[in-house]
Amino acid sequence: MKLFFSVLSTVLILLLLASGIIARYYPKAIGRSVAILNFSLFLPLAGSMMTDNTHEKFTATVGYYMYFIGFNLVLLALMRFAAEYCKNSGTGHKIPKFVYALLGVDTAQLLLNPFTGHAFSMEKVSMPDGIFYRMIPHAGQIFHRIVDYGIFGAVLLIFIVMTFRMPSIYKERYSVIMCTMSFAGLWQAFCISSNSPVDHATIGFGFAGIIIFYFSLYYRPLKLLDRLLSDIVSEMPEEALFLFDPNGRCIWANSLGSQIAEVQKGNLEATENFLVKIFGESIKNHGDWSDKTTVQSETELKYYTLESHTFTDEKDCLTGSYLRIRDVTREQQEVKKGIYEATHDRLTGLYTREYLYQSISEISQSFHERQYLIVFVDIKNFKIVNDVFGNEFGDYALQCIADWVRRDMSEYCRYGRLVGDTFGICVPESEFSPKEREKELSNFIIRKDNTTYQLLIHLGIYRVAPEDNDVSVMFDRAHLALSTIQDEYKTHIAYYNKEIREKILWNQNISSQLGEAIRTRAVRPYLQPIADRDGHIVGAEALARWIHPEHGFMSPALFIPVFEKNGMIAEVDKHIWRCACEVLSEWQKENRNLFISVNISPKDFYFIDVIAEIKSLVKEFQIPPEILRIEITETVMMTEAENRMQILEDFRRAGFIVEMDDFGSGYSSLNMLKDMPVDVLKIDMKFLGKTDDKDRAETIVKNIIRLSEELGISALTEGVETKEQYQTLSQMGCSLFQGYYFAKPLPVEEFEKLL
């Protein structure tokens, strides 16, 4: 018996130390408290073994002290463990301070025992298997027992309460500890009451330590897992789940599954029939597969994903299968809606530009089979429609155009809204009738409520070549074709052709050469004299010329519009202004009192600070501002009128003379003249020459001159080609003249010779 308990105690001590070390490295806090508990059990177990196995009174005494005091430590560790173990239950336990005090007092009084003998004494007893030292308890030992049982009982009570209070799936967690402790407590009670000379109560606690180690760190209650899983699965809101036995008989369905298959509780037999009715025969396959499918219900098209999996046991024998059915209708509808919104224009319902390009790319292999056209649909002055009739009418107009685009389109066509007021079509040439379209466009009227408006729509067309693959380039070309019918009201359709291509190449060429041409002064001003009433030259207009190494003499018509489009015009103008200032500064030195007018493009205002630029030139060359005259066309005034008026005003305030170029070519009414801060009106004969009725033209000029006189603005006529014109205009009161009659624009040296 003695040997048995010794071996058992030794094994327990070793197990406790080992489990303590393992628990110490457990990644959660509970591991630490289990480790402390198991290490603390070493002292009472070892103490108990010592008293059990010794003949020496001293060793037995030391053993008893290890046992009693060690047990106080065990209780401390047990409380710590209990607090940690119950932490996540939401209750949270803290060890009360007085418990520490009680254990402290008890330990102290035990330690005083060797001097006072109030706690216990020992008597030697002879037993059949040897000599033992039996402990005889006194008042101190009674106190020790009350403290220890009290604390132990309290901890046990905590676990009893937890066991009954927790939801049933968690009960097991607490009841295991409760039972373990109860067993250890009972065993101790038995040992004490058995009146045996040796106390083996610690063995029970040793076992308890091992059990606690296992249950608190490694045991996963299967029941709990099962319950949790089945709860999750049963209530899955979007997933129907069916379990089948190896014979394919349905043995369980979660609540959504039961709903779908209209399964009555307990009647799973009919499940498969229902599923087959909804999803087809393939559902009978209980292997491993997954699939997507749609089902037309009474009200809507439903989307499902199906997934079947088999289970096997460890010997690879089939134990059953499960079928998951997910209703993904809502997600599918969201996805579809998202795709639709990303690919369709909100207002017209047509494809967006990106999607149109993509869908044209997708049919590009059929470019070999038939001749396709890319049509760029452009509404002229659509901004006016919005401004005049409001956005609602504008939107309606766009919808009407979209309907027109949509009409008569076959499956071979692709069409969409490019951006704003432009639309794109890709159509086989055989399906496109230019004549019919011309007819429709010649009278394209939008009617809404009491408003009617005739839209001017132009179509630019590019014939697709089989090898074309960049859709945006095709549309660029179709767009470029429009430039040939820019302001046309009679023709509505234009094709991209060789000339347009050459024009593009030309534009690219001269744009790339401009920098060099300015540096080498291949671009330079020619001067055209301006004469007064007596025929004396009083000034000149600087007109840009490009003496090109390859193309020879180039008039501004060949390059100014190109640079106005791409913004390089500011470079040209800054250069011409500077050249003009150079000439003026030379003339000043030679005491020649002439002025030079320079042209300012409306586009300059977008790219540079025109007024600052010109002011700084005048300053640099130290010339009086009034001899550098500023020519601005009417069109400058058309946009952002107020802002531009301010600019003219600023020029005049700085001492410049401002001339309104090409008056009569634009839209400005005579009425506007009175508000325009200009000093000189340049009336171009060219624009009047268009009028067949000579008398009428003369009347107009006469009136313009008279009106300008009244407003204090002097008149300059340009394009004067004959003596007769010069004389008539003189009589009308015109003060300055410019035109071939006096001289063509000349190189600076020749102009100076002419002087």
Interaction site with Mg ion (CB under 5 A): 599, 631, 661-662, 684
Q: Is the Cβ–Cβ distance between 255 and 325 less than 8 Å?
A: no
Select 258 or 725, whichever has its Cβ closest to ligand C2E: 725
Of 282-290, 331-339, 651-659, 714-722, the segment contacting ligand C2E by CB under 6 A is 714-722
Residues, the chain: 755
662 forms part of the interface with ligand C2E (CB under 6 A):
yes
Instruction: End-to-end CA distance of the chain: give it in Å, rounded.
Output: 144
CA distances in angstroms from 673 to 636, 709, 733, listed in the order given: 14, 12, 18
Helix (H) / strand (E) element for 611: namely helix 610-621
Quote the least distance from Cβ 544 to Mg ion, whole Å: 10
Using DSSP's 3-state secondary structure scheme, residue 752 falls into: helix
Select 148 or 541, whichever has its Cβ closest to ligand C2E: 541
CA distances in angstroms from 105 to 66, 76, 212, 387, 565, listed in the order given: 16, 14, 28, 96, 100
Quote the least distance from Cβ 674 to ligand C2E, whole Å: 23
Q: How many C-beta atoms surround the C-beta of residue 552 within 10 A? A: 8
Select 101 or 612, whichever has its Cβ closest to ligand C2E: 612
Of 284-292, 397-405, 551-559, 672-680, the segment contacting ligand C2E by CB under 6 A is 551-559
Among 628, 739, 748, 751, binds ligand C2E (CB under 6 A): 739
Quote the least distance from Cβ 542 to ligand C2E, whole Å: 6
Select 89 or 511, whichever has its Cβ closest to ligand C2E: 511
Of 486-494, 513-521, 567-575, 642-650, the segment contacting ligand C2E by CB under 6 A is 567-575
User: DSSP letters of 652-697?
Assistant: HHTTPPEEEEEETSSS--HHHHTT---SEEEEEHHHHHT-S-HHHH
Quote the least distance from Cβ 510 to ligand C2E, whole Å: 15
Q: How far apart are CA 690 and CA 662, in angstroms?
A: 14
The percent of the chain in helix, strand and coil, each rounded to the nearest 5, is: 55, 20, 25
Quote the least distance from Cβ 653 to ligand C2E, whole Å: 23
Select 140 or 745, whichever has its Cβ closest to Mg ion: 745
CB-based contacts of 562: which residues, under 8 Å, 6+ apart? 506, 507, 510, 511, 568
528 forms part of the interface with ligand C2E (CB under 6 A):
yes
Q: How far apart are CA 531 and CA 526, in angstroms?
A: 16
Q: Is the Cβ–Cβ distance between 348 and 402 less than 8 Å?
A: yes
Select 427 or 683, whichever has its Cβ closest to Mg ion: 683
x/- site string to ligand C2E, residues 348 to 387, per CB under 6 A?
----------------------------------------
Q: In the Cβ-directed half-sphere of 335, how many Cα atoms lie within 13 Å?
A: 6
556 forms part of the interface with ligand C2E (CB under 6 A):
yes
Of 115-123, 300-308, 549-557, 606-614, the segment contacting ligand C2E by CB under 6 A is 549-557
719 forms part of the interface with ligand C2E (CB under 6 A):
yes
Quote the least distance from Cβ 682 to ligand C2E, whole Å: 7
Among 560, 618, 627, 636, binds ligand C2E (CB under 6 A): 560
Q: How far apart are CA 35 and CA 209, in angstroms?
A: 9
557 forms part of the interface with ligand C2E (CB under 6 A):
yes
Select 79 or 683, whichever has its Cβ closest to Mg ion: 683
Two tokens at 280?
């087809």
Select 149 or 687, whichever has its Cβ closest to ligand C2E: 687
**Active-site annotation holder among 272, 631, 634, 718:** 718
529 forms part of the interface with ligand C2E (CB under 6 A):
no
Neighbour-count burial for 289-302, b at 16+ CB within 10 Å, e otherwise: eeeeeeeeeeeeeb
555 forms part of the interface with ligand C2E (CB under 6 A):
yes
Contact of residue 33 among ligand C2E, Mg ion, none (CB under 5-8 Å per partner type): none
Could you tell me how many residues of this chain bind ligand C2E (CB under 6 A)? 25
For the segment 593-652, give every residue that binds ligand C2E (CB under 6 A): 599, 601, 631
Using DSSP's 3-state secondary structure scheme, residue 733 falls into: coil
Select 60 or 628, whichever has its Cβ closest to ligand C2E: 628
Quote the least distance from Cβ 717 to ligand C2E, whole Å: 10
Among 44, 206, 257, 745, binds ligand C2E (CB under 6 A): 745
Q: How far apart are CA 645 and CA 54, in angstroms?
A: 119
- Give residue 584's identity as a one-letter amino acid code: L
Quote the least distance from Cβ 633 to Mg ion, whole Å: 8
Q: How far apart are CA 685 and CA 705, in angstroms?
A: 13
Select 178 or 713, whichever has its Cβ closest to Mg ion: 713
Quote the least distance from Cβ 391 to Mg ion, whole Å: 38
Two tokens at 317?
């024998």
Of 63-71, 102-110, 461-469, 718-726, the segment contacting ligand C2E by CB under 6 A is 718-726
Contacts of 502-509 with C-beta under 8 Å, sequence gap 24+, read: 504/480, 506/562, 507/562, 507/565, 507/566
Contact of residue 544 among Mg ion, ligand C2E, none (CB under 5-8 Å per partner type): ligand C2E
Quote the least distance from Cβ 697 to ligand C2E, whole Å: 15
394 forms part of the interface with ligand C2E (CB under 6 A):
no
Contact of residue 489 among Mg ion, ligand C2E, none (CB under 5-8 Å per partner type): none
Q: Is residue 269 flagged as an active site residue?
A: no
CB-based contacts of 19: which residues, under 8 Å, 6+ apart? 34, 38, 209, 210, 213
Q: Is the Cβ–Cβ distance between 714 and 732 less than 8 Å?
A: no
Quote the least distance from Cβ 730 to ligand C2E, whole Å: 16
Two tokens at 485?
């019918």
427 forms part of the interface with ligand C2E (CB under 6 A):
no
Helix (H) / strand (E) element for 355: namely helix 353-362
Our CA angle for 685, 691, 697, nearest 5°, is: 60
Among 573, 634, 659, 679, binds ligand C2E (CB under 6 A): 573
Q: In the Cβ-directed half-sphere of 214, how many Cα atoms lie within 13 Å?
A: 9
- Binding residues for ligand C2E, rule: CB under 6 A, are 528, 543-544, 555-557, 560, 569, 572-573, 576, 599, 601, 631, 661-662, 686, 718-721, 738-740, 745
Catalytic residues: 718
